[in-house]
Amino acid sequence: MATSDKDRTLDEPALAPIELFPISTGQIPSVESETAKECHSSEDSREVKAPDLSNDRRPGALETPSEDGGMPVLESPRISKAKGATVIITLAGISFLNTMGSGILIAALPRIAKDVGLSESLILWPAAVYALAAGCLLLIFGAVADVIGAKLMWVVGSYLFVIFSLAIGFSQTSIQIILFRTFQGAAISMCLPTAVSLITNTFPKGPWRNVAFAMNGMGQPLGYAAGLVLGGIFTDTIGWRWAYYMMAIINFCLSTASIWSLPSVHKYSDKLWYRRLAEDIDWLGAMIMSVALGLLMYVLAMATSSYKRVGNAQNIALLVVSTLLLATFPFWMSFQVKRARPALIPNKLWKNSAFTSICASVFFCWASLNGIEYFTTLYFQKVEGITALQSSIRFLAHIIMGACVNVATAYLISRVKVQTLGVVSALISMIAPILMATIKIGENYWFSPFWALFLSPVNPDVLFTVSNLIISDAFPPDIQSLAGGVFNEVAQFGNSVGLAVTASIAASITDHKAIQDHKEGLMLGYRGAFWTIFSSCALVVIITFFGLRKGGTVGKKEE
């Protein structure tokens, strides 16, 4: 259909309808298919693509049977630029609030512990249980959302996030704040994976999808840094509770706007939704992976609070069970594929070097990002002895750089090879832990801390957009929420492992050195943590250099 100049749309619809061939969740095409080989045949212009798949669904698209009774067809609709911008703002807003709550908690933790009676042994639990709940449920909610609808899951999750944000502000005891942070983590696990599905089903491949992923990525580091700043300001002024009240108000506005702005993805199926829920989800596979990672993250949380707890009989038993479940998972995937049943993450998907490499890079990148933010905050407050407000203001460089990098990534992603983007950004971020590991106590902020905070978000922000595009292309279009669950699970697991390992190393060094000067003792431990973070950044450089050699570019508009 011809369009006039007045029709302002994000992309022109395809001239002919797109035929969709039903693909079960366990039947992902081989990455060694002929189509995949053709993708890499040109040395001048190569793109990372999922073979034989089309992620070009738009909101409002209707799948109807063809006239000859064959395969269903998907008619391409249009979306206005205004509504497209609203979708991006809504999704990025929840991404922002997700990490903002964690930033507020870190900045205000000493005051929160005092107000609600949080003992020293439980002081890290409000942060740990949030990650634990989210990590356990990301894959399950992602799979369910692909059946009942990404919009429904996202809206329910966002409103629950409002309720539990308010509940945290009203908490009066340590049990309450730990419980409500757990529920808040469960709520956000309904939003994070579905955001990927909502983006891929709203925007076709090209600039708008790139911008959507980049802005969604911008929300996470900016939210955390903003949480640190606002948490410090509120703690030193009207009280930390108001920071969570403000979060709830913003969240309510975004959740209400999402009812109008987010697309409803209509999928053709001859099954009723409850039959699809029972038959088209690999429930056992999801449970195996979720329980395994949940147990492992619990033990890591114990190690974060005290590295000596890892040797407890209970934690050793949980580690053994977790390891056995993780070892069982690939065998279950193979069993499901052989029976032609849905498989959560088919084993052959890991043969795709781009997919495997990007997952490994995300793991180590998020491990280093969380660590450098956490230990830089501790350096400011425990070594330099400045207030939470002063510490928060020093993170402004982090916020500004994060915003700039995401804008630049949205522009460069379809023009520069993913290998180049990954390696260069990782090399830049690798400078940050070196600066903090070699800093002298009391050194001028502008010499080392400023540049460390300024450079540290470069690789995570670049990798967020790149990884989402690659991972979403690796999954069929009808399970994009599961694709989002995989990305967020890897990132969340990297966060937990990174924090547990660096915290254990820092505490162990401080304990064994037994230096009388308390600040010097702490700083020795922090230096060990920063050098560990440097090693993680170096691994990202190596993985992206070798793993993404054939990556080419991603995010190009399909002709």
pTM: 0.73
Which of the two residues, 430 and 340, has the higher pLDDT score?
Answer: 430
Q: Is 37 a domain residue?
A: no
How many other C-beta atoms lie within 10 A of the C-beta of residue 351? 12
pLDDT in tens, 262-276: 877 655 566 676 777
In a domain, 387, yes or no: yes
Confidence of residue 59 (pLDDT cuts 50, 70, 90): very low
Residue 32's identity, in one-letter code, is E
**Residue 268, pLDDT score:** 54
Helix (H) or strand (E) holding 72: strand 72-75
Does residue 240 fall inside a structural domain?
Answer: yes
Q: What is the pLDDT of residue 58?
A: 44
Where residue 56 falls among pLDDT bands split at 50, 70, 90? very low
Mean pLDDT of all residues belonging to the chain: 77
Residue 553 included in any domain: no
With 70 as the cut, is the pLDDT of residue 60 above it?
Answer: no
Say how far apart CA 220 and CA 298 lie, in whole Å.
Answer: 23
Q: Are strands 18-19 and 62-65 parallel, antiparallel or unpaired?
A: unpaired
* Mean pLDDT of all residues in 232-238: 84
Higher pLDDT, 278 or 490: 490
- CATH (domain of 401): 1.20.1250.20
Q: For 138-179, how does the pLDDT look when each residue is reduced to its tens digit (9 = 90+)? A: 888 888 887 888 888 899 999 999 999 999 999 888 888 888
The rounded distance, in Å, linking the Cα atoms of 141 and 121 is 31
Question: ∠ at Cα 207 (206, 208), nearest 5°?
Answer: 100
Residue 480 pLDDT: 66
Identify the H or E element spanning 65.
strand 62-65
In a domain, 507, yes or no: yes
Q: With pLDDT > 70 as the criterion, what percentage of the chain qualifies?
A: 79
Q: Which of 84-93, 204-213, 502-511, 512-521 has the highest mean pLDDT?
A: 84-93
| Residue 74 maps to a domain | no
The 10s digit of each residue's pLDDT in 10-42 is 443 333 333 333 333 333 334 344 333 443 444
Answer yes or no: is 61 within a domain. Answer: no
The alpha carbon of 161 is separated from its chain's Cα centroid by a whole number of angstroms, namely 17
State both tokens at 466. Answer: 């790149």
- pLDDT given for residue 273 in this prediction: 66
In the predicted model, what is the mean pLDDT of residues 400-417? Answer: 83
Burial of 364: CB neighbours in 10 Å, binned 0-12, 13-18, 19+ = buried
Q: What is the pLDDT of residue 65?
A: 44
| Positions of E strands within 260-341 | none
Residue 101 has pLDDT above 60, yes or no: yes
Is residue 503 in a domain?
A: yes
Domain that residue 210 falls in: 81-547
Of 14-23, 172-181, 324-333, 532-541, which gets the smallest average pLDDT? 14-23
Domain count along the chain:
1
